[in-house]
A and B are shown apart, each in its own frame.
Chain A
Amino acid sequence: MGLNRQTLAGLIVIACLMAVPFAAPLLGGNYVVTLATRVVILAIAASSLDLLLGRGGLVSFGHAAYFGLGGYVVGIAGFHLANDVPIFGWAGSNEALVVWPLAMLVSGFAALIIGALSLRTAGVYFIMITLAFAQMIYFVFVALKYYGGDDGLSLSARNLFAGERVTNPATFYWISLGALGLCLLVQWRLVASRFGMALRGAASSERRMAALGFSVYGYRLAAFVIAGMMAGLAGALWANLNRFVSPDMMGWVRSGQFMVMVIMGGVSSLFGPIIGAAAFLLIEIALSGRTEHWQVIFGPFVLLVALFAPRGIWGLIRAKGEP
């Protein structure tokens, strides 16, 4: 395999991500590390969405729901531990190796139920329904006054990682980056597998795949659940980074932002969503530093991307004819 432009660009992205903790002292210290951590966590969520949007051709507009649920698992497990109130006989936990997998399970389960219902439909129905169910989960957490309702829930401390406290921003960055690496590895293997072929085949022609004997519904549901679990992991990391969760994590604006990241970076590409997440955060910081009403500029920008650059930044890197 030769070193084509995409491989080269991918290697550059990896090198940049690996260099952040080493370069940070020169660039502004912990602020840069924390910013890079935000990019990495949002990139996990965005790339999981790309599995649906790009590979599966499924426009899910409720992806923030799984992100928020993952965050709330961390928040609620910590809440019960800190207040010494068991939940369903469980004391709660502050151990990442317990809570994060649990976050993935809860988000995956929610994705299973919502996906099972939404995937009975297609096209515009699917968009509206995924949005509506995400909004339903949002309202449930707004109504849950016990866990702070609208105001959200603060974490008394970050999760322990294998019993160790994670106070150094660089350590947390490496943990997040490891999570992103794992998710990308899983996606890379999945996309190249029979499963990925079936998913992509169904995106281009559902009827053809069905005629070939594939259970399109089953493959799509599996992709929906995997994407939900990855978004749940991202949410758990996000809750740890900010030591705070609130219903806003699962609001429709968040879902829209994930979509913007995927498209801006480039759909159906392993590294596009990472670039998209980075570009999104940098634009947000640059604009909101200038004016409080940065959405007046950002909105038309999103519109222009949708109209004129639907293949995103990765589309510029990807040479003609390359997959």
Chain B
Amino acid sequence: MQLLIEQLLNGLQLSLTLFLLAAGLTLVFGIMGVINLAHGSLYMLGAYAGALAAARFGSFWLALPAALLAAGLIGAAMELLVVRRLYARDHLSQVLATFGLILFFNGTIAWGVGLAPLQMDTPDLLSGFVQIAPGLPYPTYRLAVMAVGGAVALGLWYVIARTKLGMLIRAGSDKREMVSALGVDIAGLFTLVFGLGALLAGLAGVMVGPIRSVQIGMGEQVLITTFVVIVVGGVGSIRGAFVGALLIGMADTLSRAFAPMLLKLWLAGALADGLGAALSSIMIYLVMAVVLVVRPRGLFPAED
């Protein structure tokens, strides 16, 4: 029972991290029609900026703004220099161009920082445990990550559903030409949304820093999982991104924790471990396949 609660919380934390990434990616695609493979790089760059700042200044509270600043600025620069030229292009060019960006960012980090993974310390304030149930201590830091993720999700919902900016974003994703014809500065809106998505990716990256090691390739791994989230939820839909992130985050965490254990009820130990490891590493793709069979455009397809 305690294990189940702990794993549910871990799953929730992964889900909220995935949502931070999926929200940016799905907004960028929904509004600008650009598939951005380098979204994972922004996550990685956020984590690296955070880890380097933490090592330099010895404080997580300086690492956090450093990561946000780095990811946001690099994201905005990316939009102005590269992504802007891709709006009118086909998906093939977009994939190729952003693939080139990934190579560039990975190479730059390998060159400037090195291939060895970086470690980031949990901030002192959040380094303890909280007794969430009798006999079940849970790391404070992970709870804080969940709180931030949840707050950002709420904030994002508020911005999109209730503010003028959100209205423009929703209108822009539905009828881009119409919004532009009404005199809205579409170019500015695009840069803003892209920068916002980059900021969220950087936030996800720096928050994950103290939980996992910061290394090259972390961006692509999470990018592909984020793709699964978006495909499950429906491309372009924030609500879809949220539901998809919950589904995929939970499926991944719970299958990793329990698949070998459940298989042991029927199979021999070593076989169950091996099969369980294989099954849990492909679980999210199986979920995606099932959703595709039932609803090819995801659970909450954006209106077209």
Report which A residues bind B (CB closer than 8 A): 53, 59, 61, 117-118, 120-121, 123-125, 127-129, 131-133, 135-136, 139-140, 142-146, 252, 256, 259-260, 263, 267, 292-307, 310
Contact = CB atoms under 8 A, between A and B. Distances in A.
B91 A293 contact: no
B82 interface: yes
Contact of B92 (A131, A263, A296, A302): A263
A295 B227 contact: no
A176 B89 CA distance: 36
Interface residues of B, number: 45
B103 A295 contact: yes
Given A125-B296, A299-B105, A303-B82, 6 more contacts: A128-B230, A129-B292, A295-B106, A303-B96, A303-B104, A307-B85
Contact of A300 (B29, B100, B228, B292): B100
Contacts of A143: 274, 277-278, 281
Interface string B91-107: 11111110111111111
A125 B99 contact: no
Interface string B267-304: 00000001001100110010011001100111000000
Nearest to A291: B111
B292 A306 contact: no
Contact of A132 (B101, B106, B228): B228
B282 A140 contact: yes
Interface of B: 29, 35, 82, 85-86, 89, 91-97, 99-108, 110-111, 220, 224, 227-228, 230-231, 235, 274, 277-278, 281-282, 285, 288-289, 292-293, 296-298
A294 B107 contact: yes
B35 A306 contact: no
Of B101, B231, B293, most buried by chain A (CB within 10 Å of CB) is B231
Contacts of A263: 92, 96
Contacts of A59: 91-92, 95
Contacts of B29: 124
Contact of A310 (B93, B228, B230, B274): B93
Nearest to A124: B35
B235 A302 contact: no
Contacts of A260: 96, 99
Nearest to A146: B274
**Chain B facing A: main interface SS:** helix
Nearest to B293: A117
A117 B100 contact: no
Contacts of A128: 35, 227-228, 230-231
Contacts of B95: 59, 61, 127, 259
B103 A117 contact: no
B107 A293 contact: yes
B96 A302 contact: yes
Contacts of B228: 128, 132
Contacts of A302: 96-97, 99-100, 103
Contacts of B103: 295, 298-299, 302
A136 B228 CA distance: 11
A120 B296 contact: yes
Contacts of B92: 53, 59, 259, 263, 267, 310
B102 A121 contact: no
Contact of B282 (A118, A139, A297): A139
Contacts of B274: 143-146
A306 B297 contact: no
A299 B101 contact: yes
Given A117-B293, A296-B111, A307 B278 contact: no
Given A145-B274, A296-B111, A125 B82 contact: no
Contact of B104 (A123, A131, A142, A295): A295
Contacts of B107: 293-299
B296 A121 contact: yes
A127 to B, nearest CB: 6
Contacts of B281: 139-140, 142-143
B93 A306 contact: yes
A267 B108 CA distance: 30
B97 A306 contact: yes
